[in-house]
Amino acid sequence: MPAKILVTEVIAPEGLAALEARGYEVDVKLNLSDSTLRAIIGDYDALIVRSATNVDKALLEAGKNLKVVGRAGVTCDNIDIEAANALDIIVCNAPTSNIVSAAEHTFALILACARRVPQANQSMHAGNWNREQFKGVELYGKTLALFGLGRVGGAVAERATAFGMRVLAYDPYCNPERATSLGVKLINDLDVILEQADFISVHLPVTSTTENMFGPEEFAKMKTGVIFVNTSRPAILDLNSLADFVAARKIASCGVDVFDDEPCYNSPLHSLPNAIITPHISALTEEAQVRSGVQIADYVWAGLEGSLVPTALTATGSAGEMSRHIAPFVPAANMLGRMVSQIKGSVPRIVKVKMMGNLAELDPTVLVTSVLEGLLSSNYTQCSTMLEAKRYAERHGVDIDCSGTDVAGEYAAGIEIVADDICISSTVFGSEKLPRITSILDYKIDVAPTKHSLIFEYEDMPGVCGIIGTVLGNHGINISTMQIANSDDGTKALVYVNVGKEVSDEIIEEFHEAINLKYLFRISL
């Protein structure tokens, strides 16, 4: 029986034809409700979606035969990747398909705001001829601030330069050389960049550091008369606040393509004449649709045939036997990346990843990519080969390398990362395969880190653990794990403490006053 593929959103006929030509049965069923989709998904081996289908845990669990979910586009925030990973379902996307379209639509909005094209058009259609009312502003010589200089941000920068704009960018993870080669000046100080910009365009993924990045405080710091465009994701900003500033004309005009709870029929921007709003159409062009349809057809086919899926976002997509060994280490690799960048307080420049024991002979790409995601706080970095991972890292100023060794100490397998001068290693343990730290900064430990932890190093002396416990206890913070390790020469000690909630700056200050600390790191995973 041929494999069955369900397509729930419009993809290019070229993509559908490619799947049918391979002998699959392809059903296109648009506008299904969540409950109908859940009722029928059990019949299908693969599902192809764009951004509107909610591929949550319940749907994935109902997909008893589901092997692949293909996203005909880039961002997979409508798909529960973690649940798919747990269920061994491959999730893949078409990451390069719509960059140009998204950049061009961003410019459509920038120009529409600057020259008031939609308003002038509407006025003409109403039988008017009001030239003065539609006086605009030029882009030439103006300053554009880009937030996020990745794939789409970079393409917008190239186009902005052609308009004679001065282009600035806020992107702490961007390699300065990439910025220079795009003719962009990096300014990684929010206040400084906000006050310089005549135009602002946002191209950020949603992460804990970008969510709600723009609210009343940030809008207030912008120049009066700024033009603000968001074609990235709605969670980046506070829409009510944006509407207030647009209504007050502090922001002269805004262009917005993405909304909470799409389809969105009403929002605070809908009634504002100087808000240009579009229904999530940045990627909606003939060309991007053909590219994403054809690319996703190829990757879904690879997944169904059990081949390597080049754009797999789940460890499962790395094919067969290898993934069974690699998959449990993906969270550990990500954790190591996050810990290292928090301990350093910045992105390290030289990173060496070592795959140890059973992992030594396997393709390291998935784990190196996961380390990079942790280091750069990005979601779903797209690297299907080590070469791509190295190039991606290079774009962010990181020189990354990977090696293998049969030796993994007392464990069957592990990963070690050395980032500049910081070394941490990890293994996974138990039926749940929880990541554990096995050594950190030359100290041997064995801790499964929780969401919040503290790492102390100090000249060894009695009573320090008591002080740590007392200070935390005084502030009502629970300790769930405390582990002590001594340096080889016995003069120094390291204490790793898992705590119940985030520790404030004031408490950190208190520790510095009470203990002769070499250092104290606060980690949030």
Ligand X SMILES: O=C(O)CCC(=O)C(=O)O
The only residue of 8, 175, 201, 231 in contact with ligand NAI, by rule CB under 6 A: 231
- Which residues from 305-334 bind ligand X, rule CB under 6 A? none
**Residue 374 makes contact with ligand NAI by CB under 6 A:** no
The only residue of 67, 280, 291, 354 in contact with ligand NAI, by rule CB under 6 A: 280
Closest separation in Å from C-beta 107 to ligand X: 17
Binding partner selected for residue 50 from ligand X, ligand NAI, none, CB under the kind-specific 5 to 8 Å limit: ligand X
**Residue 205 makes contact with ligand NAI by CB under 6 A:** yes
The only residue of 116, 151, 291, 452 in contact with ligand NAI, by rule CB under 6 A: 151
Measured from the CB atom, the residue of 379 and 487 that comes closer to ligand X is: 379
Binding partner selected for residue 231 from ligand X, ligand NAI, none, CB under the kind-specific 5 to 8 Å limit: ligand NAI
Q: Helices 151-162 & 99-115, crossing angle to 10 degrees?
A: 50
Query: If we measure between CA atoms, which residue out of 30, 151, 144 comes closest to residue 98?
Result: 151
Closest separation in Å from C-beta 316 to ligand X: 22
Instruction: For residue 277, give every residue at least 6 positions away whose Cβ sits within 8 Å of its Cβ, in sequence order, or none.
Output: 255, 256, 257, 259, 267, 269, 270
In this structure, what DSSP letter does residue 503 have?
P
**Residue 425 makes contact with ligand NAI by CB under 6 A:** no
The only residue of 53, 75, 175, 438 in contact with ligand X, by rule CB under 6 A: 75
Residue found under tokens 């929780």? 450
Binding partner selected for residue 143 from ligand X, ligand NAI, none, CB under the kind-specific 5 to 8 Å limit: none
**Residue 150 makes contact with ligand NAI by CB under 6 A:** yes
Closest separation in Å from C-beta 292 to ligand X: 7
Binding partner selected for residue 173 from ligand NAI, ligand X, none, CB under the kind-specific 5 to 8 Å limit: ligand NAI
Asked if residue 353 lies in contact with residue 415, where contact means CB atoms within 8 angstroms, the answer is: yes
The only residue of 93, 282, 292, 438 in contact with ligand NAI, by rule CB under 6 A: 282
Closest separation in Å from C-beta 284 to ligand X: 5
Closest separation in Å from C-beta 492 to ligand NAI: 35
- The contact mask relative to ligand X for 254-293 (x = CB under 6 A, - = no) is --------------------------x--xx---------
Tell me how far apart the alpha carbons of residues 121 and 118 are, in angstroms, rounded to a whole number.
Answer: 5
In this structure, what DSSP letter does residue 314 have?
S
Q: How far, in Å, are 230, 370, 391, 476 from residue 158 at the CA level? A: 18, 29, 20, 52
Of 211, 262, 287, 502, catalytic: 262
Closest separation in Å from C-beta 4 to ligand X: 23
The only residue of 18, 19, 74, 371 in contact with ligand X, by rule CB under 6 A: 74
Of 178, 233, 396, 522, catalytic: 233
**Residue 16 makes contact with ligand NAI by CB under 6 A:** no
Q: Give me the long-range contacts of 462-466 (CB less than 8 A, separation at least 24).
A: 464/493, 464/495, 464/515, 465/495
Task: Give yes or no: 280 in active site.
Answer: yes
Cα dihedral 63, 69, 73, 78 sign:
positive
Tell me how far the alpha carbon of residue 358 is from its chain's centroid. Answer: 29
The only residue of 12, 18, 45, 50 in contact with ligand X, by rule CB under 6 A: 50
Asked if residue 73 lies in contact with residue 98, where contact means CB atoms within 8 angstroms, the answer is: yes
Q: How far, in Å, are 119, 328, 408, 435 from residue 431 at the CA level? A: 61, 10, 20, 11
Task: Give yes or no: 262 in active site.
Answer: yes
Tell me how far apart the alpha carbons of residues 332 and 380 are, in angstroms, rounded to a whole number.
Answer: 15
Asked if residue 227 lies in contact with residue 110, where contact means CB atoms within 8 angstroms, the answer is: yes
* Helices and strands per DSSP (H, E), number in the chain: 18, 22
Closest separation in Å from C-beta 260 to ligand X: 14
Of 280, 291, 395, 436, catalytic: 280
Residue 435, strand partner residues: 428
**Residue 175 makes contact with ligand X by CB under 6 A:** no
Task: Give yes or no: 512 in active site.
Answer: no
Query: If we measure between CA atoms, which residue out of 75, 522, 94, 92 comes closest to residue 307?
Result: 92
User: Cis peptide before 263, with omega less than 30 degrees from 0?
Assistant: yes
- Angle at the Cα of 178 (from 172 to 181), degrees rounded to 5? 135
In the complex, the residues that contact ligand NAI under the rule CB under 6 A are: 74-75, 98, 102, 147-153, 170-174, 203-205, 207, 209-210, 231-233, 257-258, 280, 282-283, 376-378
What residues are annotated to the active site? 233, 262, 280
Contacts with ligand X by CB under 6 A lie at 50-51, 73-75, 98, 280, 283-284
